[in-house]
Amino acid sequence: MIPSTFSYVRAQSVDEAIHLLQASNGEGKLLAGGHSLVPLMKFRLTTPGTLIDIGHLSELRGVRKEGNRLVVGALTTHRQVLSDPLVQEHIPVLAEAARQIGDIQVRNRGTIGGNLAHADPAADLPGVALALDAMLEIHGEDGAELIEADGFFLGPLVTALPETSVLTSVSFLIPPVDAKSIYLKYAHPASGYAVVGICAIAAKGPDGRVSYIRIGINGVGDTAYRARSVEEKLLGQILTPDRIREAAACAADDGQIGSDLFASEEYRRHICSVYTEKALKEILL
């Protein structure tokens, strides 16, 4: 299909982008990599009056370490994320997830900020962001503020990002040095989107008990979510295959599980538990 008519403007700074959003009276959309927005425009699921291009703003790219966090510019592409030395050293699971996004064209142009701001329930990064206690920095008419990932995803394609604000960076908590991690995904055979995606990060103490655990899940629900029920069952425990299986059975309890023509709610609940169990066994046994 062909998008509806729109105007195009190229913002020269974040401040100008904010001003243009304000001037658009709710009809403006930011364009970065375009891999989330343009398909919606083609199907006329969104019909912006103005496209505000911020894709060339170099200050919104790059990765840096600040204390116990990695800060990733919102316009950093998936390809840049998966190949960045700091990401590979401190948060390899983020690189692992970025490697599984779309195809090479999507990874070369799509951005981490666009992926999170789009909030597709089947996207790979929202669950990873939750497991890594991500903080999203946004700039708007009132200045800068931070939003926790845990409160950012409100529904399918709906976030807490104000319509006149720009997501400028995302910071991820660096897990303990002895933590192991995995992003395990069952991809839809046609689209490649996650039917279920499990980001699991865990560490054991000297006594063999689980001392740190984070599990983020995307694909099965209306939004990505933290599997806190599983975390609570395993934290402080010495693990056995049976104990992991019992905890993983609760993996769908914290989300609002959806259904579609490809997979029923019952099936999604089942594969959620199966893939959570598989991911945990991979890093903990």
The pLDDT tens digits of the residues spanning 101-112 come to: 999 999 999 999
CATH topology for the 58-173 domain: 3.30.465
Query: Is the model's pLDDT at 43 over the cut of 90?
Result: no
* CB-based contact 211:204 (threshold 8 Å): yes
Rounded average pLDDT over 208-218: 98
- Distance separating alpha carbons of residues 117 and 74, to the nearest angstrom: 10
Residue 3: pLDDT band (50, 70, 90) is confident
Residue 272: pLDDT band (50, 70, 90) is very high
- Distance separating alpha carbons of residues 56 and 139, to the nearest angstrom: 17
- Distance separating alpha carbons of residues 186 and 22, to the nearest angstrom: 40
Structure confidence at residue 36 (pLDDT) = 84
Residue for token pair 């598989």: 278
* CB-based contact 181:200 (threshold 8 Å): yes
Query: Is the model's pLDDT at 41 over the cut of 90?
Result: no
* CB-based contact 88:99 (threshold 8 Å): no
Question: Quick one: three-class SS letters along the chain?
Answer: CCCCCCEEEECCCHHHHHHHHHHCCCCEEEECCCCCHHHHHHCCCCCCCEEEECCCCHHHCCEEEECCEEEEECCCEHHHHHHCHHHHHHCHHHHHHHHCCCCHHHHHHCEHHHHHHHCCCCCCHHHHHHHCCCEEEEEECCEEEEEEHHHCEEECCEECCCCCCEEEEEEEECCCCCCEEEEEEEECCCCCCEEEEEEEEEEECCCCEEEEEEEEEECCECCCEECHHHHHHHCCCECCHHHHHHHHCCCCCCCCECCCCCCCHHHHHHHHHHHHHHHHHHHHC
* CB-based contact 20:50 (threshold 8 Å): yes
The residues spanned by each domain of the chain are 7-53, 58-173, 180-284
Per-residue pLDDT tens over the stretch 142-165: 899 999 999 999 999 999 999 999
* CB-based contact 198:276 (threshold 8 Å): yes
- For the beta carbon of residue 243, count every other beta carbon within 10 angstroms: 16
- Indicate the pTM of the whole model: 0.95
Question: What CATH code would you report for 180-284?
Answer: 3.30.390.50
Amino acid (1-letter code) at residue 227: A
- Distance separating alpha carbons of residues 83 and 107, to the nearest angstrom: 11
Structure confidence at residue 37 (pLDDT) = 87
Residue 268: pLDDT band (50, 70, 90) is very high
- Distance separating alpha carbons of residues 159 and 184, to the nearest angstrom: 24
**CATH number assigned to the domain with residue range 7-53, chosen from the 4 options 3.30.43.10, 2.60.40.420, 3.40.50.620, 3.40.50.700:** 3.30.43.10
- Dihedral sign, CA of 119, 123, 125, 128? positive
